[in-house]
Structure 1
Amino acid sequence: MAADKKGSHIKGTKKQLPDGWITGAFRYAIFPTDEQKQRLEMAFGCERKVYNEYVAGLYDHLEAAGFQAGF
């Protein structure tokens, strides 16, 4: 169970933390301009493309190596 600095239980925590440790979080919101939105969409699109290319290459490699899932 995680506890705050006062020793109170933090709701929603299930793991036991070492003594002296506490958990915390911050929530942020951004409000990009139209130009920033466009740039963010382009950046995430590029990242998605790179990831998908990597996964496709991984599957090709595994298939060439004769790997079969153990289902």
Structure 2
Amino acid sequence: LDLVVDWAEQQEEPDEETMAKVKVLYVRNLKEAVSEAQLKEMFATHGEVDHVKKIKDYAFVHFVEREPAIKGEGV
């Protein structure tokens, strides 16, 4: 095993203008049995979901508009 380890560079916080355009939520602590279709159905109660990408125990929920994404944060 030939590992390379280095310090991570600090990331700058995005500015308000950039954050105002974000329409994607990050969802974590998902059970393996939860499907992308189930997540899409759950978050669609807040607005139109473009698509969901689940990776192991987390997912990204992509909304068509920003406002439903803000509402979806409370799930």
TM-score (norm 1): 0.27
Structure with the bigger percentage of helix = 1
Structure with the bigger percentage of strand = 2
Higher relative contact order (CA 8 A, sep 6+): 2
TM-score (norm 2): 0.26
